[in-house]
């Protein structure tokens, strides 16, 4: 695929910043699929955190404040 051909540098040794600059359709700003995936992500991230998560964190909080749990 053209994807592989466009990559000439050894990615493993590249810093994260450069990896992101690799020409890549899904990450490219104007790719419709990439845009939709980001919107999917952003929509969920924008939701308020549901109550059951706060309950779960409350349990963790209680363990923090109470006796140390055996590990």
Rounded Cα–Cα distance for residues 40 and 42 (Å): 6
- Comparing CA positions, the residue from 49, 54, 52, 57 lying closest to residue 65 is 57
Please, what is the minimum distance in Å from the beta carbon of residue 45 to another protein?
4
Per-residue mark of binding to another protein, 41-60 (x: CB under 8 A): xxxxx-x-xx-xx--xx--x
Rounded Cα–Cα distance for residues 21 and 7 (Å): 11
Residues that bind another protein (CB under 8 A): 1, 3-4, 7, 11-12, 16, 19-20, 22, 24-27, 30, 32-45, 47, 49-50, 52-53, 56-57, 60-61, 63-64, 71
């Amino acid at each position: 695929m053209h994807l592989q051909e466009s990559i000439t540098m050894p990615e493993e040794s590249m810093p994260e910043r450069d990896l992101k600059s690799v020409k890549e359709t899904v990450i490219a700003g104007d790719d419709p699929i990439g845009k939709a995936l980001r919107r999917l992500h952003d929509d969920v991230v924008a939701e308020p955190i549901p109550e059951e998560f706060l309950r779960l964190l409350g349990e963790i909080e209680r363990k923090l404040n109470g006796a140390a749990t055996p590990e």
